[in-house]
A and B are shown apart, each in its own frame.
Chain A
Amino acid sequence: MIEATGIKEIIKPENLAYRKTDIMTDNILSYCPGCGHGTAHRILAEVIDEEELQSQTIGVSPVGCSVMMYNYLDVDIQQAAHGRAPAVATAIKRLMPEKFVFTYQGDGDLAAIGTAETIHACNRGENILIIFINNGIYGMTGGQMAPTTLPGMKSSTSPFGRDVKTMGNPLKMTDIVATLPGTYYVTRQSVHTPANVRKTKKAIRKAVQYQKLDKGTCFIEIVANCPSGWKMTPVQSNKWMEETMFPFYPLGDLKTPEE
């Protein structure tokens, strides 16, 4: 490994403050520079590591940029058909209720083609964790309009901006599933700053605990950037996300357990 290092005297095993968890493999992520997927993967992996869940975890990857999540997380993973991850996860959890089961899905996967599977899994209160990465665009296929694309937002299939009259309105899936009795914990977070990373990780940790207690569906939306799709630098994209995405998709808990 070619490294750029700081003060060498400090770099000793006993001084280690943070390193990539072993639950993340050494495969180089296929994501574009600055993409939030990598950070979201890593904190999920950290929770699996810290909670000693590797042998208990079965994940479901979607169709979209994170289709090959199985290359990056050192846990058992099934790759589902587009939008069907909640149905796949339903069966896994029903058949192996002692396992920690999660899906990891983008907005096209979860909020367009997989709307029915998402809503019904949540409505049945399947005891699974759904992680929903919302960057308002179809990343993998090259930046087409997503169900979550903001009004006026440009994409390759809304080149003049999303006209809600002809193209429909952005769908707030997280708000919808929060109204369903089957969901136990619903929150919207992000991973673009250290503070937000901490909060999101805490949310994942909560969801793991709730699943152990058989509480029902936990749903964590992560509003994320897509620098390539948005045609911005990563730093610009995070700023734009704060200014434009967050007002429409405000961060915070939508449904918390009554404690």
Chain B
Amino acid sequence: MEKELRLMKGNEAVAEAAIRAGTDGYFGYPITPQSEILEYLMEANPGETTGMVVLQAESEIAAINMVYGGAACGKKVMTSSSSPGISLKQEGISYIAGAELPCLIVNVVRAGPGLGAIQPAQSDYFQSVKGGGHGDYHLIVLAPSSVQEMADFVELGFELAFKYRNPVMMLSDGAIGQMMEKVYLSPQKERSSDSPLWATTGKPASRPRNFITSLDLDPYGQEVFNNKLQAKYAEIREKEVRYEEFLCEDAEYLLVAYGTSARVSQKAVQILRGEGIKVGLLRPITLFPFPTKRIYELAGKVKGMLSVEMSAGQMVEDVLLAVNGKVPVKHFGRLGGIVTTPEEVVENLKSKIIGG
């Protein structure tokens, strides 16, 4: 079946894609700049068409624990929020990772810390890729840079979540969530009635009881489990790295940016190329796993890199680790909810890397 072309906000695209992906349940709580997801779903009322459950919870905490309950039944369930709300969800996310449950969490990032501002930021990078909650765990983190990707990453997110029994975070930002673009939507998928073997669906006589927990009071048992998780993350690092390159083949300088900053950086590359400066852009699509190997390879070809992110310098640490001292790496980004301009990127690449 053909894809349907629509003009939508990123947040709306997530909601529509969720319905079309055959999602079983969405549990949300209003917070700017992502409330359209819950609003759209309530308006679309997919309970009447696909049977998808849409529920406004009493808090972000309740919403993520509803996701836990649904995921433990083997259902395709998701939630969405923005930075302060995602902080509230971290306990639940840690439990979900610890119980190895698949789910999708969308973070439409706004500026922080605290209540911060409602404008777009990328300052939840550490929280998303380094853990966020307690314990040794990782989310698979997808970073969309367009409305199309916000739609596409719903299905990709669920696919990866179920493949690895691991929570997936779509790390968007207030700009992509709020902007309108054209988007090609996949045809409606049927909700699956099959449940994975591990799910709690009521114990038939034919199998032992299933229980979902993240507890093991025996430290040796817990260590075995921790090692199992680490092996899974190693496999994810091996197989699931995704990134996009723009004019990197002959590049002498490299911008590394994701999400909204990648869009801005792409424009900066065009401006710089117009001036005869050979600049390329590497856009990580997965932030965990991070395209470490590719950045290391490119470090052998370029003279320096600039990590462009709307944070005080978070992803730049992973770029530095990848580059491992081979070439200079600097950071540039506006803070507080201000979107960086291409001209600022151009200026900063020149002053911090080319001239530096």
Interface residues of A (CB under 8 A from B): 54-58, 60-61, 67-68, 70, 73-81, 84, 87-92, 94-96, 99-100, 116-117, 120
Q: Which residues of B contact A79 (CB under 8 A)?
A: 99, 211-215
Interface residues of B (CB under 8 A from A): 24-25, 27, 53, 55, 57-59, 61-63, 65-70, 72-73, 75, 77, 91-92, 95, 99, 200-205, 209-215
Q: From the candidates B58, B67, B202, name the one contacting A91 in the complex (CB within 8 A).
A: B67
Rounded to whole angstroms, the CA-CA distance of A73 and B75 in the bound complex is 23
Can you list 30 residue pairs at the A/B interface with Cβ under 8 Å?
A54-B202, A54-B203, A56-B202, A57-B203, A58-B201, A58-B202, A60-B69, A70-B211, A78-B68, A78-B213, A79-B99, A79-B211, A79-B214, A79-B215, A81-B65, A81-B91, A87-B61, A88-B68, A88-B69, A90-B69, A91-B66, A91-B68, A91-B70, A92-B72, A94-B25, A95-B25, A95-B69, A95-B77, A117-B58, A117-B61
Q: Which residues of B contact A100 (CB under 8 A)?
A: 202
Docked-complex contact B24 and A90, CB < 8 angstroms: no
Q: Which residues of B contact A94 (CB under 8 A)?
A: 25, 53, 55, 70
Closest B residue to A56 using CB positions: B202
Q: Which residues of B contact A95 (CB under 8 A)?
A: 24-25, 53, 69-70, 73, 75, 77
Docked-complex contact A77 and B200, CB < 8 angstroms: yes
Rounded to whole angstroms, the CA-CA distance of A120 and B59 in the bound complex is 10
Q: Which residues of A contact B211 (CB under 8 A)?
A: 70, 76-79
Q: From the candidates B24, B57, B63, B200, name the one contacting A78 in the complex (CB within 8 A).
A: B200
**Count of inter-chain pairs, beta carbons less than 8 A:** 129
Rounded to whole angstroms, the CA-CA distance of A95 and B73 in the bound complex is 8
Docked-complex contact A84 and B53, CB < 8 angstroms: no
A52 CB to nearest B CB, Å: 11
Knowing A76-B200, A78-B211, A79-B213, say if A90 contacts B95 (CB, 8 Å): no
Docked-complex contact A120 and B215, CB < 8 angstroms: no
Rounded to whole angstroms, the CA-CA distance of A221 and B267 in the bound complex is 63
Rounded to whole angstroms, the CA-CA distance of A150 and B214 in the bound complex is 33
Known: A80-B95, A81-B95. 11 other contacts (CB 8 A): A68-B213, A70-B211, A76-B211, A77-B200, A78-B200, A78-B212, A89-B69, A90-B62, A91-B25, A95-B53, A116-B59
Rounded to whole angstroms, the CA-CA distance of A100 and B200 in the bound complex is 12
Q: Which residues of B contact A84 (CB under 8 A)?
A: 61-62, 65, 68, 92
B41 CB to nearest A CB, Å: 14
Docked-complex contact B69 and A87, CB < 8 angstroms: yes
Rounded to whole angstroms, the CA-CA distance of A168 and B122 in the bound complex is 42
Knowing A58-B202, A76-B209, A77-B209, say if A88 contacts B66 (CB, 8 Å): yes
Rounded to whole angstroms, the CA-CA distance of A162 and B57 in the bound complex is 34
B73 CB to nearest A CB, Å: 6
Q: From the candidates A55, A77, A90, name the one contacting B66 in the complex (CB within 8 A).
A: A90
Docked-complex contact B201 and A91, CB < 8 angstroms: no
Rounded to whole angstroms, the CA-CA distance of A95 and B65 in the bound complex is 14
Docked-complex contact A91 and B91, CB < 8 angstroms: no
B45 CB to nearest A CB, Å: 15
B219 CB to nearest A CB, Å: 16
Rounded to whole angstroms, the CA-CA distance of A90 and B77 in the bound complex is 13
Rounded to whole angstroms, the CA-CA distance of A57 and B200 in the bound complex is 9
Q: Which residues of A contact B213 (CB under 8 A)?
A: 61, 68, 70, 78-79
